[in-house]
Structure 1
Amino acid sequence: MSRVIDMELSLPHSEANPDLERISRGRPGTPFAQSLPRPEGYGFANYGNVFRSKETAPANKGEANDGGLVRLVEDMDRAGISRGLLVGAENSATGRIHQAHPGRFFLFTTFDPFDGMRAVREFERLVKEEGANGLRLSALYNGVPANDRRYYPLYAKAAELDVPVRIYTAMNYANDRPYDLGHPRYLDDVAIDFPELRIVAGLAGWPWVNEMVGLLRRHPRLYVDTAAHHPRYFSQPGSGWEQFLQFGNTLLQDKVMVGLSRYLFGTSFESIIGEYKQLPLKEKVIEKWLYGNAAEFFRLN
């Protein structure tokens, strides 16, 4: 059985705070007290129009008894997943989850960049006192691109604490905000201004794959994960992943980490891992993608 580190595990629905999703998927920008009802299928609802297949339906969503984190850890054990980056948990749950499942999850905190130094101080506390493993930022939700100056105090603190940052890097389909909020170009400024910072581009920058590859070559501490993309498409001609796969098998083989995103595909960890193993990658490269690169990134070695 292969060893695996998964860069995108979803918090089980039964343990999630439904208000977080409702708020984060609402209107971008500052709320307005007398907002009118939104058109049907607008904003995040448009994802349902774009992705209609059963495959993209979140697994177990809405189930009251999905087994929670206990069942998730059991599923991880069966698939050989030693650790995973858990998304969807509240900052306040960091210490509790680490205590209940020591050494199994990476927990990255999220903050509103408009909270300034209050966010910086709380970030430091969570890392030092609750075991937070890094910082996660997503312009998809708040509409603030990664190179905005309001993030810079958080980046500086992450560099000082020597913890990594995961930045949403991909096109979005929420048609009430710019499609390119997650363009890889925003990472260039961050990597230039914080050369010591370990950065992972979450979701791999599609459809700007060639630019993502160029930036990975350009910045030594910039990495990438494959979350939210099914591995079967990486080797499919015309999918746009051709350069990613070519460089990921050669010059960038030490910079790619897998995000299995099982919750999106409604299947087992074993099935997705099996599809990664079918990609036209060298055997040693597959091991790096599945485990070795993330172990280096998180300094588990």
Structure 2
Amino acid sequence: MIIDSHVHAGEYYRHFSAAFAQQMMPTTGMPPEALTAPEARLLAEMDAAGVDRAFLLAFDVRRVEGFSVPNEFVADLCARHPDRFTGFASVDAGTPGAAARLRHAVTGLGLRGLKTAPCYLRMSPADPLWNDVYATAQELNIPVLVHTGYTPAQNADGRFFPPRLLEPVARNFPDLRIILAHLGRPWTTDSLDLMARHTNLYADLSIFLSYQPLAAVAAVLAQARERDVLDRVLWGTDFPFATMADSLARMAALAQDPAPWPANSHPLTPGEYHALLGGTAARLTEPASAGHSAPSSPREEHR
């Protein structure tokens, strides 16, 4: 099964503001109007690329950006296509009742993960205001996808880009599975170091895989292999900021062509390739009872 672990729901003007689209899209080479993912386009993109399932993300940044992609909107899409979408809620810990909204999104709306955007909300992912949200996610046994790394959004606070800010969260919530979005680019080495120290940390390749030179991607994946964390890296695109077919073509090259890889490394093995493309993502979102131990690597955590 091929799973895109980072896909945005939402439509231009209906959800995303024109100003936000104008800030975000120039780095992709696409016009602002391309920041849209209506239902038909989502399914067509997946079908054309051969993607079986997508982690479909809500996006709550209303307090700072003035818009949101609501949990209810994502839940409705997932209810219509339960075989194609796994829905991730989004909440803002800077507004009262965030943990309760997350609980409702999971137990009432049927969403199965959480997407947070701390730098967009101008707060640290380790701000104590997030603690009730993290505790609720840990109790409900759902993964948390956290934006890490650079974003061109002008209202975002660059102090909160680095993935290392999540280290106390990983330490204080050891059963909370946290996905570092975008591999924390440009702090990719820091992300891998964090993953080596904490086995509840994962990372996705969204945006990083699509726009960085293939040799740079191969070098980072080689580092992940050396640190024994490659089995916690997920393929993802950040659609509609990148296309699924192009991203999958780059993944295929990383499995077949030795040229981009460092001299002391080698292309992805079949096992690594299949884990990246969906095996790890499927394991992260397997239904489980709240309070049960989260799926984890067999390796001990390095403190």
Q: TM-score, normalised by structure 1?
A: 0.78
Q: Is the 8 A contact 2:18 2:32 kept in 1?
A: no
Unaligned segments of structure 2, at least 5 residues: 59-68, 255-266, 288-294, 296-303
SS of 2:199's partner is coil
- Tell me if the contact between 1:13 and 1:60 (Cα under 8 Å) persists in the aligned partners: no
Equivalent pairs counted in the alignment come to 265
Cα drift, residue 210 of structure 1: 1.3
> How far apart, in 2, do the equivalents of 1:123 and 1:203 lie?
23
| 2-structure distance, mates of 1:171, 1:210 | 14
Is the 1:83–1:104 contact (alpha carbons within 8 Å) kept by the matching residues of 2?
A: yes
Range with greater deviation from structure 2 (217-226 or 80-89):
80-89
Query: 2:107 matched to 1:109?
Result: no
2:257 matches 1:278: no
Q: Aligned equivalents of 2:160 and 2:212: distance in 1?
A: 23
SS of 2:195's partner is helix
Aligned residue for 1:284, secondary structure, equals helix
When normalised by structure 2's length, the TM-score is: 0.77
Q: In 1, are the aligned partners of 2:75 and 2:87 still within 8 Å (CA)?
A: no
Q: How does 1:50-89 map to 2 (within 5 A)?
A: 51=27, 54=29, 56-57=30-31, 60-61=34-35, 68-88=38-58, 89=69
What is residue 189 of structure 1 aligned with on the other side? 168
Identity of aligned residues (%): 25
Q: Distance between the aligned counterparts of 2:221 and 2:213, measured in 1?
A: 7
Shift of 1:47: 4.9
User: Would the aligned equivalents of 2:183 and 2:205 in 1 still touch at CA under 8 Å?
Assistant: yes
Q: Does 278-287 or 243-252 show the bigger shift?
A: 243-252
Q: Which residue of 1 aligns with 2:237?
A: 260
- 1:32 maps to what in 2? none
Conserved? CA contact 1:255–1:293, under 8 Å: yes
SS of the residue aligned with 2:88?
Answer: strand
CA positional deviation for 1:228: 1.7
Query: 2:2 touches 2:277 (CA, 8 Å); kept in 1?
Result: yes
**RCO higher in 1 or 2 (8 Å CA, sep ≥ 6)?**
1
Q: Who is 1:33 aligned against?
A: none
In structure 1, the partner of 2:188 is 209
Q: CA deviation at 1:176?
A: 5.2
**Match for 2:51: what amino acid?**
I
